[in-house]
C-alpha cells in the first residue's frame, strides 16, 4: 500500500509541475509584445508622474488627457504638445519629460537590458530576445555588445552636442552657467532622440539665425535618425564601404538625398514668404530652410512659424515626414529603407525584370511584402485618424493631415492646431504617436503573438492590374 500511495503521490506532483509549466508557457511574453508593453508601461508611469502637482509650475494637478498626451509625445520622441512646455511644467516636470525622451529614444527593452547588465552582469535568454527585437541586432550572441554600444553612442553624441550648445547659450545669450547648462543638456537629449521638445514658448525661433545653435542640433538629429544598426556597421567597417550592408547603404544614400531635396524644396517655396523666410537675409534663409528639412526627418523643432508656411510647403513636408529616418533608431516614419525598397520595386517592374537588385545584391521577396504592409497600414492609420479629427473639429483637411502625419511619424511639427483640439482628437493623436513609434509590424506581430506556418498552397491565378 505504501508503494501505491507513493506512486499516486508521484503522479499528483508530476501533474502539478506540468500544469505550472503550461501556465508559464501561457503567460510567456513574445519579444514584440514586450516592446509594446514596455512602451505602454513607461507611458502610463510618465502620465501618472506628470499629473502630480509637483510636475506643474502652478502646483496644481494636470488633467489626465494633457498628461497622457505629453508623456506619450515624450516616450514616443515626438514633440507635439497641448500645453506650453516652457510655462506649464515645473523644473521637476521638465526633468521627467527629458528622462522619458531619453528612455523612449534608447528603447524600453534596451534600457531594461542595460539595468540587468549593470545589476546582474548577465542577460537572460528572454532579455536577449527582447533587446534583439527592439535593436534589430544582427547576431543573437552579440546582444550584450549591441546594448553597450547603443548606450555609449547615445551618451557620447549627446555630450558632444551639449559641449557645443551650453557655452553658446552662456557667452552668446548672457545666461548664467546653470541655465546655460540646463538649456544645453535638454536640447542635446531632445535633439539626438529626435524629440522636438524645447524650453521656449516659441520653440527655436529665438535662435533661427544662429548657426552655432542650429547646426549642432541638426547634426545630432541626423545622427540619431540614421539608426543604431548603421552605427554598428560603421564602427566595424568604416574604412570598407564596399563591404557595407544593403541597409547601411540605403540609409546613408537616402538620408543625404532627402536632406538635399528637402532643403531646396522648403527654401525655394518659402524664400519670399514674409511670414517665414522672407524676413531674413539670404544666408539666414538657407540656414532656416536646411534646419526645417532636417526637422522633417522626425525631429520637430521649428525656427519659424510652420503655421504661416504655404500649403504646398506643407504638402512636401508631409511626404518628408512620412518617409522619416533610419530603422531601429530614434527617428520615425515608414523609414527611408522602406521608401527605397518600394522605389526599387517600381523601377524593376517598369524595366520588366524578375528580381529586385540593389547595390549588387538581390532583395528578398519577403521584404517586398513587409514594405508594402508597412506603407498601407501607415496610410490607413493616418487617413482614419485625419478623418476622425476632421469630423470632431471641422478643421481644414490640409492642417489636420499635417498634424496626423506629424504624430504618426513622431515628428512633432505642428501648424498650431494641436493645442486647441478636443480631448477625443488629442487621444486620436496619442494612438497615432504610439503606433508610429512602435511600428506597424511590431504592433501587429505583438497582437498576433506568432507567425502562422501554413503547410499547403492554393493554385495560382492573376487578376488584372491597372
* pLDDT tens figures, 240-299: 888 888 889 999 999 999 999 999 999 999 999 999 999 999 999 999 999 999 999 888
User: pLDDT digit string (tens) for 368-402?
Assistant: 888 888 899 999 999 999 999 999 999 999 999 99
User: pLDDT digit string (tens) for 333-346?
Assistant: 899 999 999 999 99
Q: Poorest-confidence range of 98-112, 136-150, 285-299?
A: 136-150
Q: What is the largest CA-CA distance in the chain?
A: 101
Mean pLDDT in residue range 111-127: 48
Q: Predicted confidence band at 49 (pLDDT cuts at 50, 70, 90)? A: very high
Quick check: 5 pLDDT over 70?
A: no
pTM for the whole structure: 0.85
Mean pLDDT in residue range 6-26: 50
Distance, in Å, from the CA atom of 81 to the CA atom of 198, rounded to the nearest integer, reads: 11
Helix, strand, coil % (nearest 5) of the chain?
70, 0, 30
Quick check: 309 pLDDT over 50?
A: yes
Mean pLDDT, all residues of the chain: 84
Among 434, 334, 433, residue whose Cα is nearest residue 376: 334
Distance, in Å, from the CA atom of 237 to the CA atom of 231, rounded to the nearest integer, reads: 10
Mean pLDDT in residue range 93-121: 70
The torsion angle over the Cα atoms of residues 184, 185, 187 and 193, rounded to 10 degrees, is 150
Quick check: 80 pLDDT over 70?
A: yes
Distance, in Å, from the CA atom of 404 to the CA atom of 410, rounded to the nearest integer, reads: 10
Which residues is 89 bridged to in the sheet? Answer: 56
Amino acid at each position: 500500500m505504501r508503494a501505491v500511495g507513493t506512486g499516486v503521490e508521484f503522479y499528483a506532483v508530476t501533474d502539478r509541475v506540468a500544469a505550472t509549466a503550461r501556465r508559464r508557457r501561457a503567460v510567456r511574453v513574445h519579444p514584440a509584445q514586450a516592446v509594446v508593453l514596455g512602451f505602454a508601461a513607461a507611458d502610463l508611469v510618465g502620465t501618472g508622474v506628470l499629473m502630480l502637482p509637483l510636475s506643474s509650475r502652478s502646483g496644481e494637478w494636470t488633467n489626465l488627457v494633457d498628461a497622457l498626451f505629453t508623456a506619450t509625445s515624450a516616450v514616443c520622441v515626438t514633440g507635439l504638445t497641448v500645453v506650453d512646455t516652457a510655462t506649464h511644467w515645473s523644473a521637476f516636470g521638465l526633468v521627467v519629460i527629458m528622462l522619458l525622451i531619453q528612455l523612449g529614444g534608447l528603447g524600453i527593452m534596451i534600457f531594461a537590458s542595460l539595468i540587468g547588465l549593470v545589476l546582474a552582469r548577465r542577460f537572460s535568454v528572454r532579455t536577449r530576445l527582447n533587446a534583439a527585437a527592439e535593436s534589430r541586432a544582427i547576431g543573437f550572441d552579440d546582444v550584450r555588445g549591441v546594448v553597450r554600444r547603443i548606450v555609449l553612442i547615445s551618451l557620447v553624441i549627446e555630450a558632444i552636442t551639449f559641449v557645443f550648445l551650453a557655452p553658446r547659450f552662456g557667452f552668446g545669450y548672457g545666461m548664467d552657467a546653470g541655465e546655460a547648462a540646463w538649456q544645453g543638456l535638454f536640447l542635446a537629449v531632445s535633439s539626438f532622440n529626435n524629440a522636438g521638445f524645447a524650453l521656449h514658448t516659441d520653440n527655436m525661433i529665438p535662435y533661427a539665425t544662429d548657426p552655432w545653435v542650429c547646426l549642432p542640433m541638426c547634426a545630432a538629429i541626423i545622427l540619431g535618425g540614421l539608426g543604431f544598426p548603421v552605427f554598428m556597421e560603421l564602427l566595424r567597417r568604416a574604412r570598407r564601404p564596399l563591404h557595407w550592408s544593403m541597409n547601411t547603404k540605403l540609409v546613408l544614400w537616402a538620408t543625404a538625398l532627402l536632406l538635399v531635396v528637402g532643403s531646396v524644396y522648403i527654401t525655394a517655396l518659402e524664400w519670399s514668404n514674409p511670414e517665414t523666410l522672407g524676413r531674413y537675409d539670404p544666408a539666414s534663409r538657407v540656414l532656416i530652410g536646411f534646419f526645417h528639412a532636417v526637422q522633417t526627418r522626425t525631429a520637430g523643432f521649428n525656427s519659424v512659424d510652420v503655421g504661416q508656411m504655404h500649403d504646398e510647403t506643407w504638402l512636401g513636408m508631409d511626404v518628408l515626414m512620412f518617409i522619416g529616418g533610419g530603422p531601429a533608431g530614434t527617428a520615425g516614419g515608414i523609414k527611408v529603407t522602406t521608401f527605397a525598397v518600394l522605389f526599387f520595386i517600381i523601377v524593376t517592374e517598369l524595366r520588366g525584370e524578375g528580381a529586385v537588385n540593389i547595390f549588387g545584391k538581390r532583395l528578398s521577396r519577403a521584404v517586398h511584402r513587409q514594405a508594402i504592409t508597412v506603407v498601407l497600414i501607415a496610410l490607413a492609420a493616418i487617413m482614419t485618424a485625419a478623418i476622425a479629427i476632421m469630423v470632431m473639429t471641422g478643421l481644414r483637411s490640409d492642417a489636420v493631415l499635417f498634424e496626423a502625419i506629424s504624430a504618426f511619424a513622431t515628428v512633432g511639427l505642428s501648424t498650431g492646431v494641436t493645442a486647441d483640439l478636443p480631448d477625443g482628437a488629442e487621444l486620436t493623436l496619442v494612438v497615432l504617436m504610439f503606433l508610429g513609434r512602435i511600428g506597424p509590424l511590431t504592433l501587429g506581430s505583438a497582437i498576433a503573438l506568432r507567425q502562422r506556418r501554413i503547410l499547403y498552397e492554393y493554385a495560382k491565378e492573376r487578376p488584372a492590374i491597372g
